[in-house]
Amino acid sequence: MLNICWMRRDLRLKDHAALSHSLNDGQTIVVFVFDTEILNLLTNKNDQRVSFIYDSLIEVEKELRKYDSSLYIAYGDPVVEIPRIAAEFEVRNVFCNRDYEPYAKKRDKEVEKKLQKAGINFTQFKDSVVFEKQEVLTKTQSTFKVFTPYKNRWLEIFERSEKVFEHYPTKLKNLYPWKNAHSIEKYDWYKIIGFIPTPPTLPGGRDNALKRLKTFDKDISQYHQLRDYPAQNGTSLLSVYLRHGNISIREAVKFAKERKDQGHKTWLNELVWRDFYQMILDVYPRIEHSSFKPQYDKIKYPSDPDLFRSWCEGKTGFPLVDAAMRCLNETGLMHNRLRMLCASFLCKTLLVDWRKGEKYFAEKLLDYDLAANNGGWQWSSSSGCDAQPYFRIFNPYTQSEKFDPDGEFIKQWIPELRNSEGKEIHHPNPLLSADYPLPVVNYETSRFKCLKIYEVVKSK
């Protein structure tokens, strides 16, 4: 009597809903599939996100070895691979945690159909969020479309729930004893999947996630004050570990609730935003390619390819925007404040369709998550469910002066401006910084053009 626990975005062996249920039910073999449907879309074979996952899997393998077990690795389409592996081991159940992205939901339905035909049960569990779509509803039992009332209801349910902090113990002694001759630790899976080892800016694995959590514990009380300043180490840097499930959302929320100062409350607020965007994507999968507010798809962005290229390369002549983009291109990291600024700048100052920027971030962000990335871009472009007003346009100069007043972050990423002094860093003098490009557009002129093209939704 054997079960499979299929790992996807939950690369850990602790507090793991699917693994806990699987081990309670019987002996379990842990499976991970390098999904060709996803990997084939990644054109950069030095993608550090693949290495992040790879390192996380090596850590899982080492832990499994302590229990005389091993991680089963496959490469291919999970719709084919999971039923094949289930048949190979003659399992009776396949357990996994739910994924709310449109592709994942379609994939999982196809896997379930194939398993059912073979007489194998397929069971999914809530694990990557605190609450799912049917658990936080309005008084009329409908889906929230605005964050603040959603958050209030989320907190209300959270406070009275006895199971929010339910821990999922994993009886690892029930792991299936076997040795994988092609283990992730000893076999060159990079060669099989066609990627090149590229050390990620933040190393993968649960141990590194817990170290990061411990480091953040020293700073979280000032989180609400420092998180907007890119030159400060004021953010948690935990999003990538939550994205790949090196730590559970329950651990994160419990940590956020340990104290009641403003820093802890603000970080909890960010975790609720995470639930909100996952819920929106789950309920409205069309937003993957379309605006939540359909009328915003009528906007005709000029989308000048040269302006888009200058934005991608960090050569727009707007220092904080350029510094943020160069940081992203080199490290895969970007502060949330800078994500908002760069997104607003692309669609409302350079007048480029927000979907182009969303796609670029999807290619570069180490912590890329479809729900959060889509939600952030639709918020910035005003096309989302609870977005900023269409007439709110971030001023790149005032944002720079406010959040990087001394130009520390700018100088770190734009060597051409390291000799700039005072406020000059925010408005570079071309005579003193000849190697730095002039602004590719006039901000005030572009702001006026933006308001004109957004007139199509003005009365909506």
Question: Which residues partner with 143 through β-bridges?
Answer: 137
For the stretch 307-327, pLDDT in tens is 999 999 999 999 999 999 999
The tokens for 274 are: 């995470």
Q: Are strands 93-97 and 2-7 parallel, antiparallel or unpaired?
A: parallel
The domains spanning 129-166+206-283 and 294-457 adopt the same CATH topology = no
The tokens for 429 are: 């003098």
Give the C-alpha separation, 243 to 247, whole Å.
Answer: 9
Mean pLDDT computed over 49-66: 98
Give the C-alpha separation, 410 to 85, whole Å.
Answer: 51
Position 456 scores a pLDDT of 86
Say which CATH class 129-166+206-283 falls into: mainly alpha
Position 98 scores a pLDDT of 98
For the stretch 330-380, pLDDT in tens is 999 999 999 999 999 999 999 999 999 999 999 999 999 999 999 999 999
Give the C-alpha separation, 175 to 314, whole Å.
Answer: 49
% of the chain residues with pLDDT over 70: 98
The tokens for 270 are: 């960010």
* CATH architecture, range 294-457: Orthogonal Bundle (1.10)
Say if residue 156's pLDDT is above 70. yes
Position 459 scores a pLDDT of 56
Distances (CA, A) of 299 to 17, 102, 194: 43, 25, 40
Question: Where do the DSSP E strands lie in 98-216?
Answer: 121-125
Q: Are strands 93-97 and 71-76 parallel, antiparallel or unpaired?
A: unpaired
> Residue 162: which pLDDT band, with cuts at 50, 70 and 90?
low
* Mean pLDDT over the full length of the chain: 95
For the stretch 268-302, pLDDT in tens is 999 999 999 999 999 999 999 999 999 999 999 99
Alpha carbon of residue 29 to chain centroid: 28
Say if residue 100's pLDDT is above 80. yes
Unique residue bearing structure tokens 């369709």: 353
Instruction: Delimit the domains of the chain by residue range.
Output: 2-127, 129-166+206-283, 294-457
Position 407 scores a pLDDT of 96
Position 164 scores a pLDDT of 61
Question: Which of 50, 350, 84, 79 is closest to 190 using CA atoms?
Answer: 50
Say if residue 57's pLDDT is above 90. yes
Characterise 423 by phi-psi region: left (phi > 0), alpha (psi -120 to 50), beta (else): alpha
Q: What is the CATH number of domain 2-127?
A: 3.40.50.620
Say if residue 433's pLDDT is above 90. no
